[in-house]
Chains A and B, each alone.
Chain A
């Protein structure tokens, strides 16, 4: 009986001692990074906080690199690039949601200019930019010429296209590309199927 109580007491003691470290690991996923890598990533996170850009995409990129067994130096380079792109994106589209800034940063990386992003952001300030930008980035990576993709998405956006329109457009274009259609032509053809939803401006009285 005494032995039984002793075992229970030891187990309870171990639970109390080990619990904080387990909780710590749950709260600190960056703890799995090598100390030097973690130090560099923490510096970049501090820079992000100072610059007022979201830190979650940076943490996420570091964890992604860790899970994909990337080299520590490569992880730091990628996190630094994400920070740079997020800063640039914010200066182009202004204070937007984390998703929008992340999508804008991805757009910059495939060659969309800050001026193009700024035009998109200013044309419909009340709407989320995320889905059009996600579709734009994917289309360029699938071989649609950058200018064609940028102009088409921009026009659709200005004509009031909704998220479902963009996702439907993406779905149709990628099907056409798989079927052998030229990526640029596929986008132009599919874009014509989307009706304009922009409110018709009433003519000004002369």
Chain B
């Protein structure tokens, strides 16, 4: 009888080198990104089978255009003299154009999760969603199916989900409800409590609902079938401010005691990244993750502390590079003294951000990078109306998002800033 109260505890200290070998946005807004992570990780697990100082290599590639995104990522563990395949995934995302704020989305994944040599799982899953989107939030409803490959005791898993998200300043709040419905196979001696069954009945025996009515149990010649339903309620808060990124998440699982072990009822975890310089961030996190019964993976506690080195070289001349304003995730102006404005922009994965406008006599002013994707500059600017342009990686001059625009007479647009006295 497997111990349903097993714990897996992982503590990782890693030094990761993240390089985006090629990252270019083509004229048709498609994007190609390759990445490579390397790190030394030490881990203790239930079985302590992974030696300390295992070394992992994680190459990844992602292609995205306006409607489609395909990504693949795999980690290989060098454990002793053996190379083992660790956490890996191949993912496809596709969505329709936004029509009246609604779009349809399709997700398909093949993934592998690796806790330790005795706890690993492969799974195929697909989900469709309808997403109602607004500028500062949205809601979605989805339904899909997952097929675990290594857990013979579990059938296809029907997954239904719904969620809501909103942005409040630099804070993003998310909430979701996910329902998992699947049939579990178990030998009679692994079933206890109200679900006990005997092996004497055959497959033609009628389905007999259990006493509490939660699941139906059918005994077979080799074991019992149990219909399980889990419902996960999860929430997360993400906060970003200049050099700091913090994410906290927590959840509650609902289901009967046969399907949900006590240690998987509630969970919470947090992760923080602090950018020490443009290319170095300290990352720390920890918490508890619930079991994944459909994948045969136990609940675990984890802690991590790492240092991330980031480098984003952008080769020129390989793909025609353009700088669409859509790369700019946020653009803000705030007073920073008498007749001085602090311009901040959030633009990830680029090498340079520049502005110019009537306030600088149209001289080009480079913004200063703060953290991974924050750019900032103090600019003398008097009250009134000012025209401004923004340029990313030496591309086209565009109007920053979030402010009114007008034609500039030179086949482009300028943004119009209204600075109050």
Q: Which residues of A contact B (CB under 8 A)?
A: 29, 56, 60-61, 63-68, 70, 74, 78, 81-82, 98-99, 102-103, 106, 109-110, 130-131, 134-135, 137-138, 141, 163, 167, 170, 175, 178-181
Question: Count of B residues near A, CB < 8 Å?
Answer: 31
Chain B residues within an 8 Å CB radius of A60: 358, 361-362, 387
Q: Is the CB of A67 within 8 A of B363?
A: yes
Chain A residues within an 8 Å CB radius of B100: 179-181
- The reply on B83 being an interface residue by CB < 8 A is no
- Chain B, Cβ-Cβ closest to A98: B384
Q: Is the CB of B412 within 8 A of A180?
A: no
Given A60-B387, A134-B416, A180-B98, do A67 and B364 touch, yes or no (CB 8 Å)? yes
Sample 28 A-B pairs with CB under 8 A, ordered by A number.
Answer: A56-B358, A60-B358, A63-B361, A64-B358, A64-B362, A64-B408, A64-B410, A68-B397, A68-B408, A74-B410, A78-B409, A78-B410, A81-B409, A99-B384, A103-B385, A134-B404, A134-B416, A135-B404, A138-B404, A138-B406, A175-B135, A178-B98, A178-B135, A179-B101, A179-B133, A180-B98, A180-B102, A181-B100
Give residues 347-380 of B contacting A (CB, 8 Å): 356, 358, 361-364
Chain B residues within an 8 Å CB radius of A99: 384-385
Give Cα A141 to B409, complex, Å. Answer: 13
Q: Is the CB of A29 within 8 A of B385?
A: no
- Chain A, Cβ-Cβ closest to B414: A64
Q: Is the CB of B362 within 8 A of A67?
A: yes
Q: Is the CB of B418 within 8 A of A131?
A: yes
- Chain B min CB distance to A64 (Å): 5
Give Cα A134 to B364, complex, Å. Answer: 24
> Of residues A60, A67, A106, A163, which shows the largest number of chain B Cβ atoms within 10 Å of its Cβ?
A67
Give Cα A102 to B364, complex, Å. Answer: 23
- Chain B, Cβ-Cβ closest to A109: B407
Q: Is the CB of A167 within 8 A of B418?
A: yes
Chain A residues within an 8 Å CB radius of B134: 175, 179
Q: Is the CB of B418 within 8 A of A134?
A: yes
Give Cα A110 to B363, complex, Å. Answer: 27
Per-position contact with A for B398-412: 1 when CB-CB < 8 Å, else 0? 000000111111101
- Chain B min CB distance to A57 (Å): 8
- Chain B, Cβ-Cβ closest to A63: B362
Give Cα A185 to B361, complex, Å. Answer: 39
Give Cα A70 to B362, complex, Å. Answer: 13
Give Cα A135 to B387, complex, Å. Answer: 14
Q: Is the CB of B410 within 8 A of A134?
A: no
- The reply on B168 being an interface residue by CB < 8 A is no
Extra contacts, 10 of them, besides A68-B410, A138-B406, A138-B416 (Cβ < 8 A), are A64-B387, A66-B362, A68-B408, A102-B385, A134-B385, A141-B405, A175-B135, A180-B100, A180-B101, A181-B100
Task: Name the one of B135, B412, B418 contacting A68, with C-beta atoms under 8 angstroms.
Answer: B412
Per-position contact with A for B101-136: 1 when CB-CB < 8 Å, else 0? 110000000000000000000000000000001110
Give Cα A67 to B416, complex, Å. Answer: 18
- Chain B, Cβ-Cβ closest to A77: B409
Give Cα A70 to B99, complex, Å. Answer: 38
Chain A residues within an 8 Å CB radius of B406: 106, 110, 134, 137-138, 141
Given A60-B362, A63-B361, A178-B135, do A137 and B404 touch, yes or no (CB 8 Å)? yes
Give Cα A122 to B198, complex, Å. Answer: 92
Chain B residues within an 8 Å CB radius of A66: 362
Give Cα A134 to B356, complex, Å. Answer: 19
Give Cα A101 to B412, complex, Å. Answer: 21
Task: Name the one of B98, B404, B409, B420 contacting A179, with C-beta atoms under 8 angstroms.
Answer: B98
Chain B residues within an 8 Å CB radius of A82: 409
- Chain A min CB distance to B247 (Å): 26
Give Cα A70 to B413, complex, Å. Answer: 14
- Chain B min CB distance to A160 (Å): 19
Give Cα A35 to B357, complex, Å. Answer: 23
- Chain B min CB distance to A93 (Å): 15
Interchain residue pairs A-B with the least CB separation, the first 5: A179-B101, A138-B404, A63-B362, A67-B362, A175-B135
- Chain B, Cβ-Cβ closest to A65: B410
Q: Is the CB of A170 within 8 A of B410?
A: no
Give Cα A137 to B362, complex, Å. Answer: 22
